[in-house]
Amino acid sequence: MLNSLDLPGRPEDTRIVVAMSGGVDSSVVAGLLAREGYDVVGVTLQLYDHGAATHRKGACCAGQDIHDARRVAETLGIPHYVLDYESRFREAVIDPFARSYVEGETPIPCVACNRTVKFSDLLATARDLGAAALATGHYVRSALVDPASGRRAMFRPADAARDQSWFLFATTQQQLDYLRFPLGHLPKARTREIARELGLAVAEKSDSQDICFVPQGRYSDVIAKLRPQAAEAGDIVHLDGRVLGRHEGILHYTVGQRRGVGVAAGEPIYVVHLDAPGNRVIVGPREALGASRIFLRETNWLGEGALEDLPAEGLAIHAKVRSTRGPAPARLFAAGGRVHVDLETPESGVAPGQACVFYADDSEGARVLGGGFIERAEREAGAEAALARLIAGAAASNARQPAAAMARGHMAGARAD
C-alpha cells in the first residue's frame, strides 16, 4: 500500500528532503509533511550574496531567506542544512544568463536553476541523504501513471493563477519520478492559512519574484558587469532598411518590446529582431511580430512514447510561448533531430531564449507534455524576407570590410616599394 506521496511504507519510515527557500510555499510543504509524520529534512541552498539583494523584497535564496528557513525548521522541529552552491549557481545560471543576452536572446534563469541546481544537484544530495523523494513548493501537480515503473506525469495545478508548469518544462522524466509537489492541489490563499495554523513566521512573507540574483531588479547592470560588450552602442534599424537612431546596448531590448525603444518613426514600432553579430536592434510594425512557426532546441519530452516517433502530420497540442499567456492550439513536429511547432494562430513577441511549453489541452488541469527553448521564430512571408535581406546585407558588408582593408594594405606596400 502506498502512502500519500505514492511511496511504499509508513510516513514515519519515509525520509523526504524538502527544498526550503525561506518562503511561505516551501515552508508549508515542510510543515504539511512533518504533520503527516514523514521524516522531513529541510535543505536550503545559498545561491548568491549581492549585499542589497539579500534583504530585497521578492528575493530568494540569500541571507534573510536562509535565516527564515532556519526559523521555520526550528518551529517544526526538523533538521535543517544550508548548502553553499554559489559557485555552481554562477556557472549553471548566472553566466549562461549573461551570455544569452549577449547573443540577442531573452533567457529564463528560473528554468536553468530548476533543471540544474535544484532538480539535478539538490536531487543528488537528497538521494545521498537517503530520501525517498525531494519535495518542493512549486504550484504544479504530478501523479502516478504507471505504478509498476513509478512513472509520473506533470499537470497544471488547481490554482491556475499560480501555475508554474511553464517554468518546469525542462524537468526530465527521471527527475519528475523523484519529485513531489504537495501544493499542486491547493489555492495560494489556503497555503497561507496553513502557514498561520502551523505558527510559521513566514505566513505573511511576500512571494519571490523577478530575477532572484539581480539587485533592485536591474538585470542590465548584472549583464553589463559580466559581459561589457552587451552594452556597446549600435544602430536601430527599420525592417525597410532605414537607420532610425542609436541604442546603448542590445541587452536593453527584447523581441516584442514597444516602450523605451528610443526612436520615433511616425508610427508605432516594435522590436522585431536582435541582430547580435551586427549589434543592431531591428524594429518594425506590429504585424511583423506575428510568428506561426517556432523552431526549438533542447527539447524535453514528457509525453507518451518517444518524441521522434510522432506522426508525420504532427501531434495536436496546445502550446504556451509566454508565462503570462494561456496555451493555444498548435501542432508539434519532430523529424531528423529537429523540433518545431506550428501555431494555429500567430503569436507576437516570440523571443529566442524563451520557452515553448507543450500541453495536452487548454484545461486548467492539463497534462504537461514537455517543451523546448525557442531558437527562432518564422514570421509572415513579407517580414521574414525583409529581415533576411537586412541580415544578408550586413553579412556581405562585414565580409567586404576585411577585403577592403587588405587591399589598402597592399596599395600602401606597393607605394613604399
Query: What string of DSSP letters covers 92-128?
Result: IIIHHHHHHHHTT----HHHHHIIIIIIIIHHHHHHH
Residue-by-residue DSSP string for 300-319: EE-SSS-GGGS-TT-EEEEE
- Burial label for 143, CB within 10 Å (0-12, 13-18, 19+), is exposed
CA distances, 272 to each of 36, 38, 275, 308, 309 (Å): 52, 52, 10, 32, 34
Supply the pLDDT for residue 215.
Answer: 61
Supply the pLDDT for residue 3.
Answer: 95
What confidence tens digit (pLDDT) does each residue in 254-308 have? 999 998 888 887 889 999 999 999 999 999 999 999 999 999 999 999 999 999 9
Task: Locate 409 and state its grid cell.
Answer: 594594405
Quote the CA–CA distance of 83 and 346 in Å, as a whole number.
45
Q: What is the CA 74 to chain-centroid distance, rounded?
A: 32
What confidence tens digit (pLDDT) does each residue in 213-244 have? 776 667 778 888 888 777 889 999 999 999 99
pLDDT at 98 over 60: yes
10-14, 60-64, 115-119, 270-274: least confident range: 60-64
pLDDT at 412 over 90: no
pLDDT at 403 over 50: no
Question: Do residues 272 and 236 lie in contact, with contact meaning Cβ atoms separated by under 8 Å?
Answer: no
Supply the pLDDT for residue 213.
Answer: 75
CB atoms within 10 A of CB 323: 15
Percent of the chain with pLDDT over 90: 67
**Domains of the chain from N-terminus onward:** 11-217 (3.40.50.620), 232-288+382-408 (2.30.30.280), 290-379 (2.40.30.10)
Among 77-91, 220-234, 396-410, the range with the most confident prediction by mean pLDDT is 77-91
CA distances, 62 to each of 48, 111, 323, 360 (Å): 6, 18, 25, 37
pLDDT at 51 over 50: no
Supply the pLDDT for residue 6.
Answer: 96
Instruction: Read off the pLDDT of each residue in 63-84 and give the average, rounded to a whole number.
Output: 94
Give the active site residues: 113, 212
pLDDT at 311 over 50: yes
What confidence tens digit (pLDDT) does each residue in 313-365 have? 999 999 999 888 899 999 999 998 899 999 999 999 899 999 999 999 999 89
What confidence tens digit (pLDDT) does each residue in 143-194 have? 999 999 999 999 999 999 999 999 999 999 999 999 999 999 999 999 999 9
Lookup result for grid cell 527544498 = 19
What confidence tens digit (pLDDT) does each residue in 357-387 have? 999 999 989 999 999 999 999 988 888 888 8
